[in-house]
Structure 1
Amino acid sequence: MTSYQNIAPFKSDAHLAHAHIIQSDAEALEIALNLAEQFKQTAVARDAQRVLPFEEIEAYSQSGLWAITVPKEYGGADVSSYTVAQIIALMSGADGSIGQIPQNHFYALEVLRNTGTQQQKQKLYTEVLQGARFGNALAEFKTKSASLKQTAIAPKADGFEVNGEKFYCTGSLFAHRIPTLVKDAEGHEFLAFIPRSSQGLELTDDWSGFGQRTTGSGTVKFKNVAVSTEDVIPFDAAFSQPTLVGPFAQIMHAAIETGIARAAFEETLVRVRQARPWIDSGAERASDDPLTKFELGRIIADVRASEVLLKQAARSIDAARPLPTAANIAKASLDVAKVRAHSTETALKASSKLIELAGSRGSQRADGLDRFWRNARVHTLHDASRWKYYFIANYLLNGVLPPRRGTL
């Protein structure tokens, strides 16, 4: 367990002005394809040895891909939700941890889009265009329920002060700012974009999950941390009115699982071609085994279904963006719930079948085939798919709109 107190294991902020600025969806996808292929080459070793991907995340953000949701009026490409989902799926297929690390960065930018002032947007979007990375400090580990938050913000003469403790802080070890969910004395929620170098802020690398091992999802503690007024934006307002914050957050999680599922299936094809046929099949090659073909056919049907559902959900989000209403936000949320539920089951099935169809040799630690299942299993714990199905059915049967929050 390592503690990082005011220590940046990456270059100083002086390098930020050199980040590439992406101009279009097509350029973003091309860059993502190339980077994902690079990250894939060393993914097994990173997972096995739990090597945090500082160099990879630096390359990822410097490529301009962490700024692709910045609105055009602020200098960004403002790519479609489908492009964002495709990129996260690509990265997740290469390395599940790297695929998840920027999720809360994009989430914070979406909250900023909806509740930040023009001055706050100008400041923070400019930083992101220069290469800044945002982590997160949203969840808390020691409360009775996940919905309870104790991290507090209090006014001071020259701004605010934050005190509390957070866990599951994915990406914070790699971040320049840590958007932190806080409550004031009246119970109002805010997102404070706290600089990583702030006095009294301490990060601990104590994430010990058996999957998504290098996401840096450990503890962040705040002890009398000073925060500027201009770095604090409303959070609860993003859900008290129709916004895309919830469905946009959730489609990125669905993309992570869809990407893992696709990569697991493609790896299965490789391993089946290398495997020996089952003795009862009568086949000369495993690739001619009829029951193996049956299983492969089922897997690719599910993977493709998740991909189609992902695209449909992204289209619903983009259709609602110009003029969000209760109706089109509900449609987007329900479409995202469908892919979120389906991708959960598909990622778990595809990653398990990979090892099964690879045969006994698929269990060899050096190949790291288990990482697909471990990453899928840990990530799918983020939200319960059974509740996705409940919200879908409750709307169809009773016309009850789904709740507005980031966990649908």
Structure 2
Amino acid sequence: MSNSVATEISKRAAVAARAVAKLDEKEKNAVLQLMADAIRKAQDDILAVNKKDVDAGKEKGLSEAMLDRLQLDPERIEGMATAIEEIIELDDPVGQRKPFTIRPNGLVVEKMRIPLGVICMIYEARPNVTADAGALCFKSGNAVILRCGREAIETSKAIAAALHQALRDSNLPEDVITVVPDPDRDLMLQLLKQDKYIDLVIPRGGEGLIHFVSDNSKIPVIQHYKGVCHLYVDKDADQDKALDILINGKTQRTGVCNALEGLLVHKDIAEDFLPKAAAKLAAKDVIVHADNFSAKYFENGDVITDDEFGEEYLALEIAVRTVDDFEGALDHIDRFGSGHTEVIVTENNLTAARFIREVDSAVTMANASSRFSDGGQLGLGAEIGISTSKLHAYGPMGLEALTTEKFVVTGTGQIR
């Protein structure tokens, strides 16, 4: 039964994708504005349904990180609507051409951006993904199938109902944005086999979910297993900058993949910097796990072994290590990082340049908070996800990452 349901959902989405692909930028932007307006109008309905999802999540014992992602309020709903309006302001990549070459026989070869087709999003307690993914996929000319986790399914349906109203008002099929009504895992497995109709799968959630999707999909998968982000405080760091970046990256919002999970400090400044960091972290009730050398600077610091580094805490916890030198920091990041975001604080431009060049991560930063590793903050508009694999996208994924390129060849009758 689930196989026929999955096939029908996928087939209808593929038909809807062709309808979206025919729209020009002005037409798509008009529909997106209707979507933003519809979300604002539906705020009370969405919040009422979301409260039920949150209450059910608390009864099931969801973690604070999961509940934080699940819970909506007027500000977050306005954020969803505003994010759609920001997408309106972005240039539509679909149809953009760039010269490639002119052949000796006069053939003009170009590359043109086109939609991927049908994208399947699989996510857990993140109802905002429904609006973000729906709008991004629509602007980039794609249809999207949204498979939400059980924790947020009713909230996602309520958000989708607002988006569907905008589609109906624009004489477009609701299948442009489909929320899978049943979070049953067997149905998800069947969706992952619909390679005839679905072109890309993007999972967002815990490491277990992403491994499960990657292991079972016949369709290409964008992978992002976890976010273990480090801050390396170099011997030439401005320590006030480093403290601000540390506290912002760790405590501004803990249950997100761009929060800091590791602090690395050069040994030459450790005796001066670590007591300051300890005071700042203690003021925010951050639990510290540290190597033997660093632990003595933190009251009740938890000494951990080498194999215990690399945890994604998603809480007010952080791992701290003192490193002998720059190479020691890179070695630690290479072993324990997740390829998401890595940050250096230093006033030495050459050291910063080396860090940016040599660290293997989707986003590398110098003297800025890891919390900026986000599609909206980096100018992409609302992101659909972050890829830590290098095919087909790397880092935060915006509109352009939801398209591909085809060759366009123009001749004057040439034959080979």
Query: What TM-score do you get using the length of structure 1 for normalisation?
Result: 0.27
Larger radius of gyration: 2
Q: Which has the higher helix share?
A: 1
Query: What TM-score do you get using the length of structure 2 for normalisation?
Result: 0.26
